[in-house]
Amino acid sequence: MVNGLVANNNIVLYTPELDSGLHQSIEFLFPETNITCHRFKLDHWLQYVAHGGEADGVILDTDAMGLGDLKTVGATLKMHTQTWCLLLVGDRGIAGFESLLGYSNVAVLPKPWTAHGLQTCLAAFSGSGSGSLASTDDDGFLNGMIEALRDPITCISGALQMAGFDNDALSDVLNPALEASRLINEQLEYIELTSPTVTPHYSSFDLRDCAIGVEKDLKKLGFGIKADIAPGTMVYADPRCARAALKACFLLLNRFGVNSEARLIKTADDSGASLIWKQQGSAELASDNLAPPPYLEELIRRLAEKAQAEMVIEKLKDVVPNQVGLLFNS
């Protein structure tokens, strides 16, 4: 439950489908909120929002709205910064009213919306007597986009699997597409975990269990990795973020390292413990080796920080990664 602005607001909900379930979802998430539900009409907007009405916040389904109405909405929100607005955006997109995304009192939630996405976006509106967003880094927007992308990616993956069932002739086409859909799901998980809206949950766990989890996750992505880690090394961290970081470490090394074979190695001493992906065999830098894009290292660093660990990376000639992993404090 959210304490602060939204919890005690007078909210006007504009939607073409009054029985869409949106009203009930908001009431469930914020039972102390007073909500009125209407189909959008410009005179109603002008009376209850633009001209000093009692609305503290507005939830606006934009699909059935004309561009002229949306520009009026934008002009209102620009003048009345104390009024927050959540825009539900579907097939219509944001063409013609992109400028609203720059307003501090506006957030966007893609359709089809989910209860989690709705709660995340509404929770971003907080404060005492102010309608501005708690932060301006679009965390609510990103989380809403993540939620909106999961379902179509799952549908695409399922359709690809069904298309390839008992049809070996299509495997050369479908298998790369399936792998791509799985990697997109991985990226969505990374974005979600590194978001400030996701709170880490620390606990003690055995590094062997973490390694086995990473092995299972990589197997789903088509990598036959065997993590041979002895039990008995306990660390205190966020296990989900640690596992995601180690997956990202392997993918970075597999794509941009000098040798495709990598093993997960555990070390432990009085200063702490580590799980490091190390490449086996010769590791000579070729002329066509590519340096990994900076965002991948930044992703691992953020996941490691969220897990309460530290990224460890070794590069050949300060360019190509040769080993990468996590160091956990004792």
CA-CA distances (angstroms) from residue 179 to 172, 173, 176, 210?
12, 11, 5, 23
- The per-residue pLDDT for range 164-202, each reduced to its tens digit, is 666 677 667 777 777 777 777 777 788 888 877 778 899
Which pLDDT tens digit goes with each residue over 63-97? 878 888 888 888 888 888 888 888 888 776 666 67
Strand-strand pairing, 203-206 and 106-110 = unpaired
* DSSP summary character for residue 49: I
Residues with Cβ < 8 Å from 62, sequence gap 6 or more? 70, 87, 88, 89, 90, 92, 94, 97
Q: What is the pLDDT confidence band of residue 3, given thresholds at 50, 70 and 90? A: very low
The predicted pLDDT at position 180 comes to 74
- Structure tokens belonging to residue 309: 């660990």
- pLDDT of amino acid 214: 94
Q: Token pair for residue 102?
A: 């720059």
| Backbone φ/ψ region at 273: left (φ over 0), alpha (ψ -120 to 50), beta | beta
State the pLDDT at residue 211. 95
> Are the C-beta atoms of residues 239 and 203 closer than 8 Å to each other?
yes
User: Which comes out higher in pLDDT, residue 256 or 309?
Assistant: 309
Which of 10-19, 217-226, 233-242, 243-252 bottoms out in mean pLDDT, i.e. has the lowest? 10-19
Q: What is the pairing mode between strands 84-89 and 57-61?
A: parallel
Cβ-proximal residues to 227 (8 Å cutoff; 6+ apart), any chain: 211, 212, 214, 215, 264
Q: How far is CA 88 from CA 46, 52, 58, 110, 115, in A?
A: 20, 23, 11, 6, 13
